[in-house]
Amino acid sequence: MKVEATEVDGRKVYSVRSFNQGVATWLNRLPTLWVEGEITELRRQDRWASVFFTLKDPEDGACLAAQMPRGQFDALQLGLGDGERVHVFGRPELYEQRGELRLKVMTIERFGLGAHLAALERLKSKLAAEGLFAAGRKQTLPRFPRLIGLVTGNDAAAKKDVVTHIVQRFPPANILIAETYVQGPRAPTAIAAAIGALCERGADVIVLARGGGSFEDLLPFSDERVVRAVAECNVPIVSAVGHEQDTPLCDLAADVRASTPTAAARLVVPDIEELRARLERTRTGLHRGARTAAERYTQRLERAHERLRRAPLLAIERKRARIDTVHARLGALSPTATLERGYAIVRRGEDVVRTTQQIDTGDDVSIRVADGAFGATVA
């Protein structure tokens, strides 16, 4: 676009609009580039087409206005906030109406994020190959811990959350706190040392807790020294670092991961009210079972006493029945019973006549019937 000037007293004079158009045209010829700075004054509204923020140089405070289409900004899903250091890729432009210089942004990256992520992926693969994240290494949390170790920062909100919820859930709990650096270059060594100290002090479960923070804030919990200290600890460790969406490498090495410090408290101690309710249910069940058993044994004893009381009578009845049976059998077999059925006994002298060959005609015989005896002569 050609910018026209007006001749005034031999001078070329530009209007403000023409001047701004000329500068804007010249700026459009500049290449796209990366700019590093801290985000401040971030402004985003759903009804706006663009997101506005200022890039500030952390060294001397120099500022540069920046603008980015809201759809592109939201698609990055960076969750940026004021004070975060970023690399911004874009092109300088002039807002002609106001004559304001700003950077038209195409994309944003957190400062050093790419290099950090690549390094973390390499470390993750290395430690996974050594088996530090294997499920077979995981230890079971004690049901009723005698001493709970807590590694956390000094005056940290995470410390308060963990302690408060542990005491609320299980007032008899004993907690040993190891306050340490949880952010910055000294944090990894300090965290690893705190874990080792709690193991030596006899803790039978350890909670590693830190509240939320930026990606850079949580980097110590992905440090190899911390990850190895967690994996090699001889007591179970619950990792409660950051928010649910954060996954530092210590989470993978820990025996249990908690989404928040508050959730960690629920994992390491039982709820005393639930225990009391369970004990009451158990006590009630034992009473009911004991009462049922006593009633059952009483009924068995009563039946046994009844059987003992009736046993002699039953024995006498059975013996009487046997005697009657034998008597009936003997009666059926006796000669008297035979005679009563119409039979007679014939004798010749002292001998019982069983065949006709035993007697001759004219022999005297005696005949016995059921109601007496009489003599006869064989014809």
Residues 10 and 81 occupy one common structural domain: yes
Give me the number of domains the chain comprises: 3
Is residue 176 situated within a structural domain? yes
Residues 208 and 253 occupy one common structural domain: yes
- The pLDDT value given to residue 256: 96
For residues 113-122, average pLDDT: 74
Residues 252 and 150 occupy one common structural domain: yes
Percent above pLDDT 70 for the chain: 96
Residues 269 and 351 occupy one common structural domain: no
pLDDT beyond 90 at 165: yes
- The pLDDT value given to residue 249: 94
Q: Which of 104-108, 342-346, 351-355 shows the lowest mean pLDDT across its residues?
A: 342-346
Range of the domain at 248: 134-273
User: Binning pLDDT at 50, 70 and 90, where does residue 90 land?
Assistant: very high
User: Binning pLDDT at 50, 70 and 90, where does residue 89 land?
Assistant: very high
User: Binning pLDDT at 50, 70 and 90, where does residue 14 land?
Assistant: confident
Last residue of a domain, one of 255, 273, 291: 273
For residues 160-189, average pLDDT: 92
Last residue of a domain, one of 221, 238, 273: 273
Residues 269 and 138 occupy one common structural domain: yes
Give CB contacts under 8 A, 24+ apart, made by 127-130: 127/224, 127/227, 127/228, 127/231, 127/249, 127/252, 127/253, 128/252
- The pLDDT value given to residue 205: 97
- The pLDDT value given to residue 123: 92
Longest alpha-carbon distance in the chain: 203
Considering the chain, what is the average pLDDT of its residues?
86
- The pLDDT value given to residue 247: 84
pLDDT beyond 70 at 115: no
Other Cβ atoms less than 10 A from the Cβ of 180: the count is 19
- The pLDDT value given to residue 233: 95
Other Cβ atoms less than 10 A from the Cβ of 353: the count is 18
Q: Mind giving me the DSSP string for 135-148? A: GGGPPPPPSS-S-E
Residue 354 phi/psi, 5-degree rounding, is -110, -25
pLDDT beyond 80 at 308: no
